[in-house]
Amino acid sequence: MAQVVLNNVKKIYDNGFEAVKGVSFTVPDGGFCVLVGPSGCGKSTLLRMVAGLERISSGDVHIGERRVNEIEPMDRDIAMVFQNYALYPHMSVYDNMAYGLRNRKTAEGEIGKRVKEAARILELSDDMLKRKPRQLSGGQRQRVAMGRAIVRQPAAFLFDEPLSNLDAKLRVQMRGEIKQLQQRLGTTSIYVTHDQLEAMTLADVLVVLNGGAIEQIGAPLEIYRKPSSTFVAAFIGSPAMNILKARGEGNTLVLGQTRVTLPRPVPGEVLVGLRAEDLQPVSAPAPGSLGVKLRYVEELGAHRLVHGDIDGQPLVIALGMEHAIADAMQFAVDPNMIHLFDSETRLRIS
Ligand code: ATP
């Protein structure tokens, strides 16, 4: 079993800054865990502690059956893929991929077999194996970095923003390739990104970090559908969930001029979360419908994003191309699709 377990892991840097504040989670054997969060939330620090590149201040990391806190990176049975690929410029692609195995004194015959197999999986031709990294495109270099990890046949892959240096189109393509590759190899993986879309599409286990602590952990769709705080609600999903100020009167939610009856009581001051796709246009005002004043429209081809406001509060609505647009529009919302958050703690009111 190559599960990875983090138990109350902390990182305090030499200057006294607590970058990771007691993080615990388990990546099951063969699982794909994505650490996501804004810049500075501690995701790279966390990954580097699993890799052994950063000392663990307290807590434990287990890879498979072993506690690895004191074990050197090279002996942790992991392979890391970096944002800058970390390829040796003077070596051929073949030698780059073979490097880690040669260091471990693997027989040349076995190295040859593994490099050829990885090259086949990653569609790197024999000609490319002879080239130097600079003679490859960014996407091809990223494949070589992946190849170097694959040939090691490690217990776990650790990815640190591996697609950040690629253009948008290639990122999407490589994202798909990494997902398929991981499913095919079944290697436990931990992947760091600040891109929520990458996180959503790759993860089986999504860990949302904020200020060095876990804000929410779960399956991507679970988190999308039931964010535990306004932070997660605004971070996961594009466009970000609309967060509006409202108040409760018994079972009635009062949002500007609109009163919506909910199946449960609403406490005094609340924050209402509405996903852009959960608002349905209606032709005339109806009980519970929201009056939206149009600000501007973004045409995305398959659908459009309508930016407007409800009594001065901005919001965005995803609208199918079949719907007409007007300066003032009415939208119905299914009460089950309304998220409520405490206005002070900003935590979900279940
Ligand atoms: P990014 O997406 O920008 O890479 P991140 O979430 O990966 O961000 P980390 O690199 O893990 O964030 O850094 C977490 C926090 O720790 C940041 O506030 C950073 O400034 C701080 N930090 C990182 N390295 C050190 C260090 N060597 N000494 C002191 N503080 C550090």
Residue pLDDT, tens place only, 241-260: 999 999 999 999 999 888 99
Averaged confidence pLDDT in the chain = 93
Give every CB contact of residue 287 below 8 A, 6+ residues apart in sequence: 259
CATH superfamily of 4-235: P-loop containing nucleotide triphosphate hydrolases (3.40.50.300)
How far does the centroid of ligand 1 lie from the alpha carbon of residue 6, in Å?
A: 19
Concatenating the DSSP letter of every residue in 31-64 gives -EEEEE-STTSSHHHHHHHHHTSS--SEEEEEET
* Fold type of domain 242-342: OB fold (Dihydrolipoamide Acetyltransferase, E2P) (2.40.50)
| pLDDT score recorded for residue 173 | 87
Percent of the chain with pLDDT over 90: 80
Average pLDDT over residues 58-69: 96
Residue 217 vs residue 141, higher pLDDT: 217
With a 6 A CB cut-off, is 16 part of the ligand 1 pocket? Answer: no
In which residue ranges of the chain is CATH 3.40.50.300 found?
A: 4-235
Residue 109 pLDDT more than 90? yes
In which residue ranges of the chain is CATH 2.40.50.140 found?
A: 242-342
pTM: 0.92
In this prediction, the answer to ipTM > 0.95 reads yes
| pLDDT score recorded for residue 139 | 86
How far does the centroid of ligand 1 lie from the alpha carbon of residue 43, in Å?
A: 8
| Structure confidence at residue 28 as a pLDDT band (50, 70, 90) | very high
Residue 96 pLDDT more than 90? yes
| Structure confidence at residue 7 as a pLDDT band (50, 70, 90) | very high
Residue 67 pLDDT more than 90? yes
| Structure confidence at residue 79 as a pLDDT band (50, 70, 90) | very high
b/e map 301-311, b = 16+ CB within 10 Å: eebbbbbbebe
Pocket test for ligand 1, best of 44, 48, 165, 208 (most atoms within 8 A of CB): 44
With a 6 A CB cut-off, is 138 part of the ligand 1 pocket? Answer: no
| Structure confidence at residue 54 as a pLDDT band (50, 70, 90) | very high
Residue 152 pLDDT more than 80? yes
